[in-house]
Chains A and B, each alone.
Chain A
């Protein structure tokens, strides 16, 4: 644990130093910014989908609410210090509105309901033109400097990962793991499973709300099909699975792989990237459901010539 913390501190220090060491490398900063943002979002998704085992296909809804809240408030001259927390909170409140009914469902049923919820949210955003600008979306007036965006995304990532690591080792984290393994048994042992799931979703949604804020301030444009789009929800599902479901570092690894593949393939032919992710997803699910983390564990196991120990999660 101490080794992990030391490693994390070195990594953070290095990432903080990057913009000062290489001041002109805007493209590199941009890619790192995206990795931070995706990493934070994947970590947030993983709290619900990985730790608690409730796979959501509708997480774009929270990103979208954060992004729209920020777009609407900043164009009306509200300070960023108020805008960002309010965006997070709105996403959180929305998660309660949908989480309380949706968590009456379990496992696959919950997943299907989240597809419906995500799509319903997108359609509402498309049709509520007076607030959201309808299909054409909203344009923001001015962006904070790239350096500030970079540090904001890094701060969000550190906060999200720190929170995930802390939750995973806490009593709350054990409750979520119990929900994942056997909801009925957890209930019998006195875990308030619905409350735990709802709390996890709330935290997850708040992080995505902030991510939505940063997204809106970076791209200066939000539209229903970008932030609320189903492909955003898909990305959020894919990253933690590539990396390793329910682990702390898995979503980060997933975000790095996802961002690189996307940067490489998006330029070639539209949709080839998603095709690649589909193949990757099938391969991982069939051969190593624990993702990259699982593969690393296997390699380590071979090197040490001892049976692979399967860590819980």
Chain B
């Protein structure tokens, strides 16, 4: 899900506060498909990814495009509004009750070198890595992926060399939203959720993206690892209820101290 955020930021230079909403929505759709139609939660992404992609493209066409030229604050507020709508729509439709997906897969574990490992956690981890690789391949090996990167680097120059910048931005936004939905669907296997689900996680993704460097995909992977380690260590020294506090504190410290992220800071250190 953090990849989606980085992608949208890189290409459109806007910060997608609605990410949290789509993450939550991804989790709910997975749950809803499972309880109402008995669709295996593992298959839900097959529905979620294309649908969310279309929603993302539509959202970019109808709303986001109108404010792209305005001050960054305006697009931030717009997507904040979208998030408010999504979140509270979810409250109205699904109420604030905590939901979770329960089936044998979610509870299963495997023994590996004497360690009891949870299968869904391994699965989510593997899917995370896979989508990272897929995204990296897409961005470096395909025409569209290169067009997206070109637009991210310099919108006007991309237009000059013949990239259909408007279309590329719509697609990038769509992919970002699809990734958020996919992330939400995966996370619904691990955690129970409410309509407020996305908020903390979304802040964590900001943290991850900023840690990694706002426009680097590999940096995002670094960021996730760094935050996970910080949280895991933090829990040893303070109560679990304070765990989320660590992400916020890390977020603020990183924003202030390393605005270029780990990758960016290393890069400038190497140069200077």
| B77 and A120 contact, CB distance less than 8 A | no
Which residues from 38 to 67 on chain A have a C-beta closer than 8 Å to any C-beta of chain B?
A: 53, 55, 57
CB distance from A51 to the nearest CB of B (A): 13
Which residues from 1 to 57 on chain B have a C-beta closer than 8 Å to any C-beta of chain A?
A: 14-15
Q: Is A123 an interface residue (CB 8 A)?
A: yes
| B241 and A126 contact, CB distance less than 8 A | yes
Q: How far apart sit A271 and B92, CA to CA, in the bound complex (Å)? A: 7
What 8 pairs across the A-B complex have the smallest Cβ distances? A278-B84, A281-B81, A278-B85, A271-B91, A275-B88, A282-B81, A116-B248, A120-B248
| A102 and B77 contact, CB distance less than 8 A | no
Determine chain B's interface SS by DSSP, over half rule.
Answer: helix
Determine which of B66, B85, B210, B239 lies in contact with A275 in the assembled complex, contact meaning CB atoms within 8 Å.
B85
Residue of A nearest to B204 (CB): A116
| A105 and B255 contact, CB distance less than 8 A | yes
Q: How many residues of B contact A (CB 8 A)?
A: 45
* Residues in A whose Cβ lies below 8 Å from that of B242: 123, 127
Query: Which B positions have Cβ atoms within 8 angstroms of A?
Result: 14-15, 63, 66-67, 70-74, 76-78, 80-89, 91-92, 96, 199-200, 203, 206-207, 210, 239, 241-242, 244-245, 247-249, 251-252, 255-256, 259
| B80 and A105 contact, CB distance less than 8 A | no
Query: Which A positions have Cβ atoms within 8 angstroms of B?
Result: 53, 55, 57, 101-102, 104-105, 107-109, 111-113, 115-117, 119-120, 123-124, 126-127, 230, 234, 237, 241, 269-272, 274-275, 277-282, 285-286, 289
* Residues in B whose Cβ lies below 8 Å from that of A282: 63, 78, 81-82, 85
| B84 and A289 contact, CB distance less than 8 A | no
Q: How far apart sit A279 and B203, CA to CA, in the bound complex (Å)? A: 23
| A271 and B241 contact, CB distance less than 8 A | no
Determine which of B14, B88, B249 lies in contact with A271 in the assembled complex, contact meaning CB atoms within 8 Å.
B88
| A281 and B80 contact, CB distance less than 8 A | yes
Q: How far apart sit A117 and B253, CA to CA, in the bound complex (Å)? A: 10
| A286 and B66 contact, CB distance less than 8 A | yes
* Residues in B whose Cβ lies below 8 Å from that of A116: 203, 206-207, 247-249, 251-252, 255
Number of A-B contacts (CB under 8 A): 125
Q: How far apart sit A117 and B247, CA to CA, in the bound complex (Å)? A: 11
| B88 and A109 contact, CB distance less than 8 A | no
| B206 and A101 contact, CB distance less than 8 A | no
| B74 and A105 contact, CB distance less than 8 A | no
CB distance from A38 to the nearest CB of B (A): 17
- Assuming A115-B203, A272-B92, what are 11 further A-B pairs, CB within 8 angstroms? A53-B71, A105-B256, A108-B72, A241-B77, A270-B96, A274-B84, A278-B87, A279-B85, A280-B81, A282-B81, A282-B82
Q: Can you list 11 pairs linking A and B with CB atoms under 8 Å apart? A: A101-B256, A107-B72, A108-B76, A111-B15, A120-B252, A123-B245, A275-B92, A278-B81, A282-B81, A285-B67, A289-B74
| B203 and A55 contact, CB distance less than 8 A | no
Residue of B nearest to A120 (CB): B248
CB distance from B28 to the nearest CB of A (A): 14
| A274 and B63 contact, CB distance less than 8 A | no
| B239 and A127 contact, CB distance less than 8 A | yes
Q: How far apart sit A120 and B76, CA to CA, in the bound complex (Å)? A: 21
- Contacts A123-B245, A127-B239, A289-B70 given; does A269 touch B255 at CB 8 Å: no
Q: How far apart sit A183 and B253, CA to CA, in the bound complex (Å)? A: 22
Q: How far apart sit A292 and B61, CA to CA, in the bound complex (Å)? A: 26
| B256 and A113 contact, CB distance less than 8 A | yes
Q: How far apart sit A113 and B256, CA to CA, in the bound complex (Å)? A: 9
| B81 and A285 contact, CB distance less than 8 A | yes
Residue of B nearest to A107 (CB): B72
User: A109, A127, A237 — which one has the most chain B CB atoms within 10 A of its CB?
Assistant: A109
| A119 and B15 contact, CB distance less than 8 A | no
Q: How far apart sit A17 and B242, CA to CA, in the bound complex (Å)? A: 49
| A113 and B252 contact, CB distance less than 8 A | yes
* Residues in A whose Cβ lies below 8 Å from that of B259: 105, 109
| A112 and B256 contact, CB distance less than 8 A | no
CB distance from B240 to the nearest CB of A (A): 11
| A112 and B244 contact, CB distance less than 8 A | no
CB distance from A132 to the nearest CB of B (A): 13
* Residues in B whose Cβ lies below 8 Å from that of A108: 14-15, 72-73, 76
